[in-house]
Structure 1
Amino acid sequence: MTVIRREVEGDAPLIHALHDAAFATAPHASGTEAAIVDALRDGEDWVPQLSLVAEIDGEPVGHAVCSYGRLGDERILGLGPIGVDPALHGKGIGSALMHAAIAAADARDEPMIILLGDPDYYRRFGFEPASRYGIEPQEPDWAPAFQVRRLATWREDLRGRYVYSPGFDARN
């Protein structure tokens, strides 16, 4: 059975190794995903309640994190990286992490979650093109994959250019 829980002390090295493995052969990977998670954890945009670990029989097999970026003067959540042990792809672990992250963000009264990813995949979780709501990525080339999931406290005035946390600039 898959259990989703918050990251706890001592998880960081396991999460780092998990992201290294998860993105080792992914065609869209930058190779810096594990370093990004480490940098986010050390920065002011880290949200401990939204660093979620999937485990099976006590072993971490997946991880997803939300951190704050900026939409104008507002702190708005961005989701990612999300990584799953490659041996367990297609088993619903990534979906479980996504549902848990969305529910936890909504429970915190966050207005939305931003992410950069495959629209065909993330549509199943309620993500839509961010441009539909007047939200633009910090890099114009990202627009086709730049998405938003509106939550219960969504506000129409949340528009403009979204800038990810500086942790996303991390390199190995």
Structure 2
Amino acid sequence: MIRCENLLDASAIYNVHTQAFERENEAQLVKNIRHSDRYIPQLSLVAEVNNTVVGHILFSYIDLVGEETLRVLSLAPLAVVPKFQRQGIGSALVQAGLETADTMGEALVIVLGHPQFYLRFGFQPSVNYGIELPFPVPEDVFMVKLLTNYQGFKGKVVYPPAFQEV
């Protein structure tokens, strides 16, 4: 079952990220974003199995600075407890989040991740759309998914302070 996170999920979400990444950076990122003006409650989703939170995905606002500064979505982080990985839970979270974001009228989603995973959801290298990376990483891992309201936006991605600890 996939649903929006609630106040009682915070520690379970922290544990999901800590287990999945074997460090606290991503769990701390969720906490930082949750306490910022970039947090979007409808786009913080959990996956449950037998009433236990086993996965989490967070979409939050970042800036795309071009002719004007636009708020666009970042997909980060995504985690599934190791015992439940490779069972389609992460894919279901991504799909649910993208559908919700599109329904909300968002224009695009940016992710830094494994191309083999994200290409299946329609993500493409951001440079194909004139969206510049904010730091040096291989172009194929910095991707964008265009949603219904995309209107040719271009510029450089600027992450808010919540991301600086990751």
TM-score for both structures, normalised by structure 2: 0.94
How far apart, in 2, do the equivalents of 1:14 and 1:55 lie? 11
- RMSD of Structure 2 on Structure 1 (CA): 1.2
The one-character-per-residue Cα deviations of 1:19-59 (angstroms, maximum 9, x if unpaired) are 000111xxxxx751100010000011001110000001111
Q: For structure 1, list consecutive stretches of 5 or more residues without a partner in the other structure.
A: 25-29
1:165 maps to what in 2?
A: 160
How many Å apart are 1:141 and its aligned residue? 2.4
Q: How does 1:4-153 map to 2 (within 5 A)?
A: 4-24=2-22, 31-72=24-65, 73-153=69-149
**Number of residue pairs the alignment of both structures matches:** 163
The one-character-per-residue Cα deviations of 1:57-115 (angstroms, maximum 9, x if unpaired) are 11100000000000011000000100001001110000000000100000000001000
How far apart, in 2, do the equivalents of 1:99 and 1:141 lie? 25
The one-character-per-residue Cα deviations of 1:131-161 (angstroms, maximum 9, x if unpaired) are 00000111032533100000001111x1010
Alpha carbons of 1:31 and 1:137: their partners in 2 closer, same or farther (altered >3 Å)? farther
Q: Which residue identity is paired with 1:97?
A: L
Alpha carbons of 1:31 and 1:11: their partners in 2 closer, same or farther (altered >3 Å)? closer
How far apart, in 1, do the equivalents of 2:37 and 2:75 lie? 16
How far apart, in 1, do the equivalents of 2:113 and 2:78 lie? 10
TM-score for both structures, normalised by structure 1: 0.91
Q: Which residue identity is paired with 2:5?
A: E
Sequence identity of aligned pairs in percent? Answer: 40
How many Å apart are 1:121 and its aligned residue? 1.3
Q: For structure 2, list consecutive stretches of 5 or more residues without a partner in the other structure.
A: none
Q: Which residue identity is paired with 1:53?
A: V
How far apart, in 2, do the equivalents of 1:31 and 1:7 lie? 19
| Secondary structure at the counterpart of residue 83 of structure 1 | strand
How many Å apart are 1:164 and its aligned residue? 1.9
